[in-house]
Amino acid sequence: MSKKHSHEVHKNVAEKIESVKCAVLTISDTRTEETDTSGQLIRKLLEAEGYSVVQHQIVPDEIWQVRSLVSSWLNDEGIDAIITTGSTGVSPRDIAVEAIKPLLDKNLDGFGELFRWLSYGEIGSAALMSRAFAGIANGKIVFCLPGSPSACQLALQKLILPELRHLVWTVLGQKI
């Protein structure tokens, strides 16, 4: 009989979490509820896996508006995870890193590294322009993804969905 690694044991226990409450934020000067394909995709993928989307909002690429909303969500007991889409590139209006990273208690560097590695397989060297990142703030998981629907799908299917319950269980001190 093979011995399971501790992360496998933890993941199996974490899978028993019935609901993870998620907030989805689209950061864009141009998206509307009708044209927010990435935000809609994230919500659809989360809900298909049994996650609950309790908040969804679109805000412009303005540091203080983004930081204010994310801060309020970080203080909301009804939210376990925040996933943002948009504003993670290198253009002058891309501000997700500057707005959100200062709020993090811990960085999950492996997320950005793995995301860019997976992206490289799909889009080549353009992956180096992504500043996608993840971290933990006030006991909540935060993922900041590019605005492209294909990038969001890649991140959700390959990285976030397989580990979200495990992350939430671990961050909340295995109390749920």
Which tens digit of pLDDT belongs to each residue from 47-84?
A: 999 999 999 999 999 999 999 999 999 999 999 999 99
CATH 3.40.50.720 fits 19-171, yes or no: no
Kindly report the average pLDDT of the chain as a whole number. Answer: 92
Please state, as a whole number, how many other Cβ atoms lie within 10 Å of the Cβ of residue 89.
17
Please give the model's pTM, rounded to 2 decimal places: 0.91
Q: What is the pLDDT of residue 14?
A: 46
- Which pLDDT score, from 0 to 100, does residue 17 have? 64
Closest CA to 111 of 66, 74, 63, 146: 146
41, 11 Cβ separation under 8 angstroms: no
Amino acid (one-letter) located at 102: P
What pLDDT, on a 0 to 100 scale, did the predictor assign at position 5? 59
> Three-class SS of residue 24?
strand
What's the confidence (pLDDT) of residue 1? Answer: 47
- pLDDT (mean) for 28-49: 97
* pLDDT score of 22 more than 90: yes
Taking only the tens place, the pLDDT of each residue in 136-159 is 999 999 999 999 999 999 999 999
Domain ranges of the chain: 19-171
Residue 157 CB contacts under 8 Å (≥ 6 apart), including other chains = 45
Using the predicted structure, report yes or no on whether residue 161 has a pLDDT greater than 80. Answer: yes
Report how far residue 72's alpha carbon sits from residue 37's, in angstroms, rounded to the nearest whole number.
24
pLDDT in tens, 88-127: 999 999 999 999 999 999 999 999 999 999 999 999 999 9
Rounded to whole angstroms, the Cα distance separating 2 from 72 reads 45
Query: pLDDT value at position 2?
Result: 55
Confirm if 86 and 148 have CB atoms less than 8 A apart. no
Cα 56 from Cα 25, distance rounded (Å): 6
Q: Distance between alpha carbon 55 and the CA centroid of its chain, in Å? A: 13
